Amino acid sequence: MPAGGNVGRNDGREGDMTINRRAALAAPFVLAAGRSDAGAQTAAFPNRAVRIIVPYTPGGVSDITARLIAEPLAAAWGQPVPVENRAGADGVIGTEAIAKSPPDGHVLGLVSVGHPVNAAFYRLPFDTMRDFSFVTQTTSTPLVLCAAKGFAASTPAELVAHAKRNPGVTFAGTSGVVRLAPVLFAQRAGVEMTYVPYRGSTQAHPDLMAGRVDVMFDTVPAALPHLQSGALKALATTGAKRAPQLPDTPTVAEAFMPDFEASTWGMVIAPANLPAPVLAKLNADCAAALRRPEVVERHRTLGAEVVTSAPGEARRFCEAEMRKWGDAARKAGIQPQ
């Protein structure tokens, strides 16, 4: 009988043992090769310019953040880091370009809270979570609940009492979280408030100061000049802690409604399926750039606090924001268009 016949009589055990021995001997080399491939990916990145797409017009916090971190990233990588503003449709156009870019780390995006909020307003050409890698959060900027100096209420509790006595209290809103923050506040307080749309804060402020619209949840930097002049008064801010620019103004959570928080924020994202070594490098290098003292201080002058996070934490934060604002929009009858 051929020598190979012994294998059949032993039910393949000898063959299995031979295969297992070979696998065991090969395993260290396979693992080493895997580590080598991962190391090579990290070492090779970036091998050309890394674009940061900002899906908004120049001059906003997201745009400024992108430009502040571009220089230290370029120095660290030895590659150009151009910033490209691709505005339109509340950020949808630029964000779609990020989603459709190759997942190799050479195209990044710097988005705002509008990224998860847009899902409540629009039928998007991408999936807000599935089509992106989340690198790190960058900033957090609270809103301020403000009204004309002569408005009847001066605290969130007084506003709610006033709204219960006087149905039809109006709030100025623009888009995104500035529109949905008062919706969430009213829902949790159990009062009705009427939305008055504006294209931007600068268009809303004259009516707010004149009392033609009652209140507004605006960003601190946008409202601050009018608060400092006395044309507007601050009822509360909406961050997890008091805003440095308004240290005497309590937060909504502190003064009236525990756990209420509504902020604008920034985040570095990339296309989905980014290689893990590249994602880890991007996270570390972006966080290092954000923590530079001059970058922290520049953001502080804008009313923003630098916040960094691990990729998993950034993803979970964005998911939570999407649920919070999506639920508020649905309860208010807002349907994606």
Calculated CA dihedral for residues 111, 112, 113, 118, nearest 10 degrees: -60
Please state, for a pLDDT cut of 90, what percent of the chain lies above it.
83
What confidence tens digit (pLDDT) does each residue in 14-47 have? 444 444 444 444 444 444 444 445 455 556 899 9
Q: Give the residue ranges of DSSP H helices in the chain.
A: 5-9, 13-44, 61-77, 92-99, 114-121, 156-165, 176-189, 201-210, 220-229, 252-255, 276-290, 293-301, 311-331
State the DSSP string of 136-174.
EEEEEEEEEEEEETT-S-SSHHHHHHHHHHSS-EEEEE-
Q: What is the model's pTM?
A: 0.84
| Domain formed by 142-255, architecture | 3-Layer(aba) Sandwich (3.40)
Mean residue pLDDT across the chain: 89
- How is residue 177 written in tokens? 């979280």
- The mean pLDDT of 123-129, rounded to a whole number, is 97
**Domain 51-141+266-331 belongs in CATH node 3.30.200.20:** no
Return the pLDDT at 41: 52
Structure tokens at 102: 């190759």
The pLDDT assigned to 37 comes to 52
Report the pLDDT value the prediction gives residue 35, as an integer from 0 to 100.
45
Q: With the CA atoms of 141, 173, 56 and 116 taken in that order, what torsion angle do they form, in degrees rounded to the nearest 10?
A: 70
**Paired tokens of 123:** 């039928």
Q: Phi-psi bin for 12: left (phi > 0), alpha (psi -120 to 50), beta?
A: left
pLDDT over 50 at 293, yes or no? yes
Closest by CA to 127, choosing from 106, 86, 98, is 98
Do the first three CATH levels of 51-141+266-331 and 142-255 match, i.e. the same topology? yes
Q: Is the pLDDT of residue 277 over 70?
A: yes
pLDDT for 5 equals: 40
* pLDDT for 273 beyond 70: yes
Amino acid at 140: S
**Residue 303: what pLDDT?**
87
Mean pLDDT of 306-319: 98
Residue 6 has pLDDT above 60, yes or no: no
Region 201-212: what's the mean pLDDT? 95
CA distances from 5 to 11, 15, 19, 22, 307 (A): 10, 11, 17, 21, 68
What would the pLDDT profile of 51-106 be if each residue is shown by its tens digit?
A: 999 999 999 999 999 999 999 999 999 999 999 999 999 999 999 999 999 999 99
- Residues 218-272 have pLDDT tens digits of 999 899 999 999 999 999 999 999 999 999 999 999 999 999 999 999 999 999 9
CB hemisphere CA count around 49 (13 angstroms): 8
Q: Any idea where the domains of the chain sit in the sequence?
A: 51-141+266-331, 142-255
Whole-number pLDDT of residue 42: 58
What single letter denotes the amino acid at residue 268?
V
CA distances from 194 to 65, 186, 215, 306 (A): 34, 10, 10, 34
